[in-house]
Chains A and B, each alone.
Chain A
């Protein structure tokens, strides 16, 4: 069986940035990714990456904005660390070759973003994620690090002493199931947008790493905090960047009214995402939308600015909605976008299972708390990709390879064989997925009420039984996507259950989580993280709580949050 010092799962921004630390340390690092690195969903981030690089800005202000944006439930040690590291990260990416947009004087340009008190978002037109991803991939190629491309992880394997032992991996190209031993495992597998039916996310965003970590005994944190992006395209849910509002775009309702002033009189369209999404949803619910959408109006920006600063979103609006934003407003609505929750880690990305690390959207460090600020996710991926990579490398230097449990590979082979051998009748994976994802959208959306959520939570045992009855049309070995979807579906079920249970338990409204029956924040009872564990005996998710990590900065004391 092959072994490596450190195995990184996922080749998006976090995974690749972490891998570069391994190369720098001279360790044997490998990356496993179910898609080619350039297909990773980091490429879809459009608007930008926050950093206090302007001499008139301060990282401390960025940190305060982030604490406030998190609705005072982000871990303050991690937020301070991220914002302090941010300017260095931007300059490092610049040196590596990222073509950031620049001002006339050659300085990296910055645009305003939601929830920020300074124009702090660095960008490359409206495809910042793509250029960052390509830059890190270039460095990855340069480093010569081995990537197991188009290889799906089926299981995170622990040794008998509870330390990570390695992974069971499935080569999508050949159907081969094999083991990889590692002294450390770093999960950088991204978010779980596909738990919901309507999402800005790629179809590959199935939160696999989170689900495997939870099944291996590592808790997930704050899964109830699901970010709804205010501007997903009406039909497909595809993202239209917050940068469109940063560049001056308006939100208008069906009556043509620029409504945000009624909800956020100071920041208008650039209030934080939870605030804007709720405002939009209220407009729609009160009948001032059109076919379930309100509108993003860019017409007053003029043709030149749209083409120069927002070329990609113009094409998306044209291709997917048939609307040219130069001439007409774009129909948009709040759409599932980002997972504030994830694998619980300390500020260096270490999970409570020895040898296990997590970074990026897969992790809950937690820098985003109950609501992430736009421009902070790209930052999170690279800063914590680097820091977690560094930390994991340090760890594996003194760690020993563990014995790989002999039955782990056989069990996965049996599981796959059993799935394939089911007769061709009953549910297809897509049908069960649709049922769950639709219900998640309906009952665990922007506004949440207890009856719907209880109904939803009670459906999970039934869906798990249904899962045992799904069948695969495809029994083959080469590029069996049918099989992958089925394996991913179990992960989605695990994550969906952790989201709705967390949402049902949290009897307050904070950040992206809004309870109609508890419309206020309750710092006494609920300034806490929710932890979700997998209960093997009950075959269900059980919850616990944990205190928020604070640093004693009096400015971070919770206060009423307005924009």
Chain B
């Protein structure tokens, strides 16, 4: 392999007045082979060119979760990202994680992220739902989730966190799934109820970015979807999100299409829907109010048979996560 010169275009951030940071971009040149990791090259720059360049790192082997930064438009672990795979015309653009307050250069303030994790009570609890015996397959369900190293890549890319900073976020929800699925956890239902509160499992838009960017194949969104299913199975169905999903379910089963006219009422209730009057008027003005009397689609019988089949043998939310294929 031959080495070449790469340009690192790095966002420099310095704390300014209280709560602000001043940013500019700075370029560094480094000589490297394409399979050199970004972390190695950041260290080269810091050690030999500019000691002020600031970033977190520790283990160098993708297990401590320190070095998640935005490299070439994606949040990745610097220690397992090869420069050759992210450089565009020899240039690598690097900035801190998104959706997080920045302390300095590439180092973010990790406290808000961990506060969300603390919020889900990240520990086993004693309680009536604790199983006596742990079987050999007990962790097939949680194994992929316990691979989480809390690096924050998922939160940085989360499209919901971007618009709603109160969203618990993929990492914390995956952690919650780890406890709900553990036979030793004593308060599974209580957890599912708490997770169905606003900013919890039903806030996820299932955009799958968290699955894409996760460096440890945790697939947080999969965990979130399984939490929803388990909640519904345990009768945790009073949240707006759950009602929305159940309304979808009923409509499709009945007519093969959504009754959007009544969907909002069934999701938000009467009071909630009245709060949305403005939106309704806006839609009416544009001629977008759907008919309250949808007809059945052709082939709805086939759809119903699919439902019946699924209800006889439901998708197994206890199944093992798929084996991850490395890049």
Residues of A near any B CB (own CB < 8 A): 35-36, 38-41, 43-44, 94-97, 99, 101-106, 124-125, 127, 130-131, 134, 137-139, 141-142, 149, 173, 202-204, 236, 238-239, 307, 311-312, 314-316, 318-320, 322, 428-431, 434, 472-474, 476, 478-482
Within 61-88 of B, Cβ neighbours of A (below 8 Å) are at 61-66, 80, 82
Structural contact, A36 and B110, CB atoms closer than 8 A: yes
Is B136's CB under 8 angstroms from A102's CB? yes
Q: What CA separation (Å) do A428 and B50 show in the bound complex?
A: 10
The contact size tier of chain B is 35 or more
Q: Of the candidates B50, B63, B138, which one forms a contact with A312 in the assembled complex, judged by CB atoms under 8 Å apart? A: B63
B59 within 8 A of A: yes
Instruction: Check A428 against B51 for contact (C-beta < 8 Å).
Output: yes
B60: A residues at CB distance < 8 A: 202-203, 236, 238
**Interface flag for B326 (CB, 8 Å):** yes
A204: chain B residues within 8 A (beta carbon): 58
Q: Is B142 an interface residue when CB atoms closer than 8 A count as contact?
A: yes
A479 partner residues in chain B, CB cutoff 8 A? 54, 103-105, 107
Docked Cα-Cα span, A124 to B56, in Å, equals 27
B116-124, B244-252, B253-261: which lies at the interface: B116-124
Would B63 and A99 count as touching, CB distance under 8 A? no
Shortest distance from the beta carbon of B148 to any chain A beta carbon, whole Å? 8
Bound Cα distance A41, B58 (Å): 8
Q: Which residues of A contact B57 (CB under 8 A)?
A: 203
Q: Shortest Cβ distance from B36 into chain A, in angstroms?
A: 9
A35 & B136 in contact (Cβ 8 Å cutoff): no
A121 vs B294: C-alpha distance when bound (angstroms): 63
Evaluate contact between B135 and A320: CB separation under 8 angstroms: no
- Asked, given contacts A41-B58, A102-B135, A479-B54, whether A36 binds B114 with beta carbons under 8 Å apart, the answer is yes
Is the Cβ of B124 less than 8 Å from the Cβ of A141?
A: no
- C-alpha spacing A43/B62, complex, angstroms: 10
User: Whole-angstrom distance from the CB of A285 to the nearest CB of chain B?
Assistant: 27
Decide if A320 touches B37 in the complex (CB within 8 Å).
Answer: yes
User: Cβ of A96 and Cβ of B104 under 8 Å apart?
Assistant: no
Contact, CB under 8 Å: A41 / B123: no
Contact at B122–A431, with CB atoms within 8 Å?
Answer: no
Contact of B103 among A105, A318, A478 (CB under 8 A): A478
Residue of A nearest to B15 (CB): A478
B143→A97 contact, CB < 8 A: no
Would you call B110 and A314 a contact (CB within 8 A)?
no
Contact B149 A35 (CB under 8 A): no
> Using a Cβ cutoff of 8 Å, how many contacts connect chains A and B?
144
9 A-B pairs with CB atoms under 8 Å apart are A36-B110, A44-B59, A44-B63, A97-B123, A99-B139, A99-B143, A138-B124, A141-B122, A473-B51
B326 touches A202 (CB 8 A): no
* Distance of A149 Cα from B105 Cα, bound (Å): 19
Verify if B52 is at the interface (C-beta below 8 Å from A).
yes
Please give, as numbers and ranges, the residues of chain A lying within 8 Å of B103 by CB-CB distance: 173, 478-479
Contact of A106 with B114 at beta-carbon distance under 8 Å, contacts A39-B64, A125-B143, A474-B52 already known: no
On whether A41 and B64 interact (CB within 8 A), knowing A130-B149, A134-B146, A478-B15, the answer reads: yes
Whether A428 contacts B58 by the Cβ 8 Å rule is no
Residue of A at shortest CB range from B51?
Answer: A473
Taking a contact as CB atoms closer than 8 A, the residue among B50, B61, B110, B323 that contacts A320 in the complex is B61
Residue of B nearest to A431 (CB): B47
Q: Given A44-B63, A318-B326, A142–B47 Cβ distance below 8 Å?
A: no
Chain B proximity of A142: nearest CB distance (Å): 4
> What CA separation (Å) do A238 and B124 show in the bound complex?
32
Give CA–CA (A106, B135) in the complex, Å.
4
CB of B63 within 8 A of CB of A142, answer no
Contact of B184 with A97 in the complex, beta carbons under 8 Å: yes
| Given A99-B142, A319-B80: A44 touches B64 (CB 8 Å cut-off) | yes
Q: Is B164 an interface residue (CB 8 A)?
A: no
Q: A106-B136, A238-B60, A315-B62 are in contact. List 7 more A-B contacts (CB 8 A).
A: A39-B65, A130-B63, A131-B146, A430-B48, A434-B47, A474-B54, A481-B46
Q: How far is the CA of A311 from the CA of B217 in the complex (A)?
A: 11
CB within 8 Å of A: which of B100-151?
103-105, 107, 109-111, 114, 118, 121-124, 133-136, 138-139, 142-143, 146-147, 149-150
Give the residues in chain A near B197, CB-CB below 8 Å.
none
Q: Is the CB of A315 within 8 A of B326?
A: yes
Is B14 located at the chain interface by the 8 A CB criterion? yes
Name the A residues within 8 Å of B150 (CB-CB): 38
Q: Which residue of B lies closest to A137 (CB)?
A: B122
B261-293 CB contact bits vs A (8 Å, 1 = yes)?
000000000000000000000000000000000
Q: Scan residues 14-66 of chain B and give those whose CB is less than 8 A from a CB of chain A.
A: 14-15, 35, 37, 43, 46-48, 50-52, 54-66
Complex contact A430–B182 (CB within 8 A)? no
Contact partner of B51 (CB less than 8 A), chosen from A38, A103, A482, is A482
Q: Once bound together, how far apart are the Cα atoms of A138 and B107, in whole Å?
A: 24
How far is it, in angstroms, between the C-alpha of A39 and the C-alpha of B151 when the chains are bound?
9
- The residue in chain B whose Cβ has the minimal distance to the Cβ of A109 is B136
- Say yes or no: A38 contacts B143, CB within 8 Å: no
**Chain B residues, CB < 8 A from A130:** 63, 149
A96 touches which one: B56, B118, B121, B124 (CB < 8 A)?
B124
What's the Cα separation between A316 and B133 when bound, in Å? Answer: 34
Contact B59 A43 (CB under 8 A): yes
Q: Which residue of B lies closest to A124 (CB)?
A: B146
Q: Which residue of B lies closest to A477 (CB)?
A: B15
Which 9 residue pairs spanning A and B have beta carbons closest together?
A473-B51, A430-B47, A138-B123, A482-B51, A142-B123, A97-B124, A479-B104, A474-B52, A202-B58
